[in-house]
Amino acid sequence: MNSESIYQTLLKRKPHYTLPQELYTDEEVHNFDLQSIFYRHWIFAAFEVELPNSGNYLSMMIGNTPIVLVRTRGGDIRGFFNTCRHRGAQILAEGEGRCQRIVCPYHQWSYSLEGELVGATGMDQDFEKKSFGLREIQVERVAGTVYVALSSDAPDFTPFRDAFEPLISRYNLLDGKVVHHQKIVENANWKLAMENARECAHCDVGHPELCLSLVNGFTLDHDDPHNVAFYSELTKRGIPTSHQEGSWYSTGHVPLRPGIKSMTMDGNYDVRKLLSDDVADLGYLRWSLQSHCYNIALPDYVFTFSVMPLNAKQTLVHSKWLVHKDAVAGEDYDIEKLRQLWETTNNQDVFLTEINQKGVGSTGYEPGPYMPEAESWCERFTDWYCDEAKKFLEEKTMSKLQAAE
């Protein structure tokens, strides 16, 4: 599909219905999604504690683009395209590490932790190294969480910070540590993975273990006495009782089931050393970015879930678990037990998204209607996707017209 056919497909999308087939299956749409969504919007990239010291780095892929986050000598966190300014080689392999300089393995061009070119093998003495530093990307930090944007056209970050920072600060993430990072490949389009994450109508049957503790925040009964008491407590503490939302983000507290302390296999804390003593009666804090993630903070741990498209029919799912830095494995928590609930849930979602992809890819597929309440957040996600995709194409067309004048 070319830009015009993608645009026409977006226009024919029926309101309140799932997307046309091509938007879930076509490789050109995959490439388009990277350009219009993932390269233009904020991405949750890391916890700040994953970069504890000067020289620590995290190298990762955003779509087909390698990037690196680096803790500088001054203690800042900066982000760069992980591409050598000599002949374009990827400099640092995916993963984490620590270095004094960033050195390209191809021809050994080297860069400071601040991205400046300091060594350019084979170039003349009058070569202007200052003109060939690593290209920088946008980085923002909020109370121990780190976000990146590859484009200067990314949405204004300030409204998200203002909404999220007062809520997440109670969890003291800068006093945490990441104890597990799971990667799963789902044989499904990234949009199906996100639609699945934006509703829980499937949870009673699809995730019975999760439902022990989870109250469905998408269809919450605000008249239930337990929920009334929960939101009354939020009001007493000056915490918003509704989700704080923008077009691309949402954050807010949701109650757990009565008698449940945390999202675990038995509803009790899996980590004895809590992140904070100030959040035990605050249910769970959820924050999500429309393009690619949802994350949950609980008194004893934080769980994050994010997706990254690999191709039109495969999605890489990242999940991380963060606990208090002083929690001792084998004493304060059992890592296998801590992982069990969400790894079980993730594996169940692999099955669900993959059967969804098989059906969507069949000759018998036609877009179907969303359930008005239970799948309203799915519809909001696909509406947002269509709006962003059309806006990208319209801006692209306008730029071409202006260039031709």
For position 332, what pLDDT does the model report?
98
For domain 1-41+172-404, the CATH superfamily is Naphthalene 1,2-dioxygenase Alpha Subunit; Chain A, domain 1 (3.90.380.10)
For position 216, what pLDDT does the model report?
67
Q: What is the DSSP string of 240-265?
A: -SS-EE-SSEEEEEEPBPTT--SSSS
First to last CA, the chain: 27
Report the DSSP beta bridge partners of residue 271: 333
* Total number of residues shown for the chain: 405
- Full-model pTM: 0.95
**CB–CB of 299/279 below 8 Å?**
yes
For position 221, what pLDDT does the model report?
76
Residues 6 or more apart whose CB falls under 8 angstroms from that of 368 comprise 17, 18
State the DSSP H helix or E strand holding residue 311, giving kind and residue range, or none if neither: strand 302-311
Query: CATH code for 43-140?
Result: 2.102.10.10
**CB–CB of 387/35 below 8 Å?**
no
For position 224, what pLDDT does the model report?
86
For position 63, what pLDDT does the model report?
97
Alpha-carbon torsion (85, 90, 92, 95), positive or negative: positive
Count Cβ atoms below 10 Å from residue 224 Cβ, excluding itself: 13
What would the pLDDT profile of 86-129 be if each residue is shown by its tens digit?
Answer: 999 999 999 999 999 999 999 999 999 999 999 999 999 899 99
**CB–CB of 328/309 below 8 Å?**
no
**CB–CB of 352/1 below 8 Å?**
no
Residue in the block written with tokens 């076509």: 26
For position 362, what pLDDT does the model report?
98
Count Cβ atoms below 10 Å from residue 304 Cβ, excluding itself: 22
**Separation CA 271–CA 269 (nearest Å):** 5
Average pLDDT per 10 consecutive residues for the chain, totaling 405 residues: 95 97 98 98 99 98 98 98 98 98 98 98 94 98 98 96 97 98 98 96 94 76 86 93 94 94 97 95 95 97 98 98 98 98 98 98 98 94 98 83 57
Dihedral in degrees, nearest 10, Cα atoms 277, 221, 200, 245 = -70
For position 222, what pLDDT does the model report?
73
For position 126, what pLDDT does the model report?
92
Count Cβ atoms below 10 Å from residue 125 Cβ, excluding itself: 4
Residues 6 or more apart whose CB falls under 8 angstroms from that of 64 comprise 34
For position 402, what pLDDT does the model report?
57
For residue 134, give the DSSP letter: P
For position 397, what pLDDT does the model report?
79
For position 45, what pLDDT does the model report?
98
State the DSSP H helix or E strand holding residue 81, giving kind and residue range, or none if neither: strand 77-81
Residue in the block written with tokens 């920088």: 136
Q: What are the sequence ranges of the domains in the chain?
A: 1-41+172-404, 43-140
Count Cβ atoms below 10 Å from residue 152 Cβ, excluding itself: 8
For position 276, what pLDDT does the model report?
93
Burial (0-12, 13-18, 19+ Cβ within 10 Å), 43:
buried
For position 217, what pLDDT does the model report?
59
Of all residues in the chain, what percent carry a pLDDT higher than 70?
A: 97
